[in-house]
Each structure stands twice: as C-alpha cells, then as structure tokens.
C-alpha cells in the first residue's frame, strides 16, 4: 500500500501504465505561482506539506481550522473558504472525504466556482462517485476552467504537465485515465479488490493459526505459493509478521476502516447503477460497515484480522 500509509504514497493500482515521476528541483516560492489546496485531513495535510517543501506558495482552507495549523506554520496562507482560495490561485487541488463535500466545495455558496478564473486548473484527488466528477467537470467548463479527477494511487498516467508536476511534488501518485470519471472508477474498483483480498488474507491467516501454524511460517509459505497477494506479502494483517505496517502498531495509521467502508459503498452504488453483480464486494462492504459499528472506524482496514479473531469469542 502506500501513501497515507507511509508518508503520502497511496493505494496501489495497476490499471493504468506505471510512470515514475522525478521530483522537480526546489526553487524559491517567489518563482512559482500559488497553488490552492482545499482539504487538510489525513491525506491532504502531507500532500500540502510536500508542495510547500518543493517551493510552492500554498493558499489553503479546511472546514476544521485546527487542521490548518501545521501547514500555516510551514508558510501556507490560510483563508476562510474555497471561494477565497479560487480568488488567489488558478491551480487548485481538492482532497475531500466524500461526494457531498466535493459538491459543496465547488458549487456551494462559498464554493470554488463562485470566484474561479477562466483557464484555471482544478484537480480533485478525492475518491468520490464518478457521476459527481462528471457534474463538477461540466460546471467548471461553463466557467472556463478545466476539471481533472485524479484520485491518489500507486499507478499513474498523467496527461496534464502542470498537474503532473504539482501532484508529483505532493508525494502522491495519481490515477488519471484521460476522461473525467475514469480515474474515480478505477480507484473504486481497485479498493473493492483490495478489501476483498484483505478479508481473504485475514481469514486464511486466522485459519492457519487455529490449525497450529506459526503465522510467520504460514505467511512465508503463502508468499511462495499461488495464493500470494499484496495483503499477504506487503501489508500482512497479522501482528508480528511484518515490520513497518499498521498491524505491527495496533492498527494505527494507514488507510482507515471508515474510509474503506465509504469506498465500498461507492462501489456498491455504481454496481447497482450499472446492474453489475458484485457479491464479494457486497459482503466486504457489510463487513467493514459492521467493523465501523464495533469500534474499528479509525483503525487501519487490515484490522479486519483482529475483528475476526474477536468474533471467535462471540
């Protein structure tokens, strides 16, 4: 996995051609035009910091003022709302939790489009419903701006040079497949598979442990066999099997269970709209929603292993 998991690389996706971007050399802030940044939560905060560290002046806002403190200390200009960001920057990045948040940030009473300049580049790195991305793109086009949906991920195909440089400096790889909505669709599909794979790995590891197998030995065997997957060899959910992953830190950090439940909900909505059967995706969604109700909302999504172990005692 990656980004919010370690710094600000993110969920792995291999649906687009993989491109490695070299970091641009640092230049003084005065030599670069301001970048607007809206949404300074667990994902947006490190991305905004990386922009500042690469010499970009940042104009930022968040609905929670306390979230702005760290980037303000690094030199970001903090304003009250997205409209004020648009008034001061013509390249704006949004990193928000959900579709309603994105709609409000762009088209609300104090939204970006209230003060957008013609020719502005709007980059939405939130994971939202693809149909909302298309709506925002149409609204931006009417105002003479360019909207790009670029949810963060491990693979990337970037067509806009300005966006590529900005997103590279943020320390996040992006998914952009050339048409508004396709990046979101790819991210949603990736995360559905990620959740299913993590549940399967957790069930397998738990069964092996119950059969008396040492978890490290079991993981080694699986990772030399056809059952090998990212959840088993890179992000193992069993405490003590791997270092540097949330399972080794009481499932702190990483990609939250609540966020995974949200993304699985998006997958369910799009599956319903397209009449696509996703039985395993539906089961994964139910399980992660149950975990949120049982106190796992803020733990990493790999805590599904701990959830299964605790269910044994029910």
Residues taking part in catalysis: 187
Within 10 Å of residue 72's Cβ, how many Cβ atoms?
A: 14
- Crossing angle (nearest 10°) for helices 257-273 and 182-210: 120
Structure token pair of residue 198: 């993590």
CA-closest candidate to residue 266, choices 256, 278, 255:
278
Torsion angles phi and psi, residue 201, rounded to 5: -65, -40
Q: List residues bridging with 300 in a β-sheet.
A: 256
């Amino acid at each position: 996995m990656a980004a919010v998991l370690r710094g600000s690389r993110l969920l792995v996706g291999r649906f687009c051609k993989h491109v490695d971007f070299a970091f641009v050399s640092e230049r003084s802030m005065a030599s670069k035009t301001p970048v607007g940044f809206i949404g300074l939560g667990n994902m947006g905060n490190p991305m905004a910091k990386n922009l500042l560290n690469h010499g970009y002046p940042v104009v930022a806002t968040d609905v929670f003022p306390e979230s702005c403190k760290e980037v303000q200390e690094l030199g970001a200009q903090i304003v009250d709302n997205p409209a004020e960001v648009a008034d001061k920057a013509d390249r704006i990045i949004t990193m928000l939790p959900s579709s309603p948040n994105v709609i409000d940030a762009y088209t609300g009473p104090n939204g970006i489009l209230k003060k957008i300049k013609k020719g502005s580049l709007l980059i939405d790195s939130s994971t939202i419903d693809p149909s909302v991305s298309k709506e925002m793109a149409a609204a931006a086009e009417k105002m003479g701006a360019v909207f790009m949906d670029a949810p963060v991920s491990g693979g990337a195909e970037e067509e806009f040079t300005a966006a590529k440089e900005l997103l590279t400096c943020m320390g996040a790889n992006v998914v952009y497949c050339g048409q508004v909505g396709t990046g979101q669709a790819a991210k949603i599909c990736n995360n559905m598979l990620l959740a299913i794979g993590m549940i399967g790995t957790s069930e397998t590891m738990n069964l092996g442990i119950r059969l008396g197998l040492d978890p490290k030995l079991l993981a080694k065997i699986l990772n030399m066999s056809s059952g090998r997957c990212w959840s088993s060899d890179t992000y193992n959910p069993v405490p003590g099997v791997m270092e540097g992953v949330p399972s080794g830190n009481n499932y702190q950090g990483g990609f939250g269970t609540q966020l995974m439940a949200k993304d699985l909900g998006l997958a369910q909505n799009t599956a319903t709209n397209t009449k696509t059967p996703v039985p395993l995706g539906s089961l994964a969604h139910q399980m992660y929603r149950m975990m949120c109700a049982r106190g796992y909302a803020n733990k990493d999504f790999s805590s599904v292993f701990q959830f299964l172990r605790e269910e044994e005692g029910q």
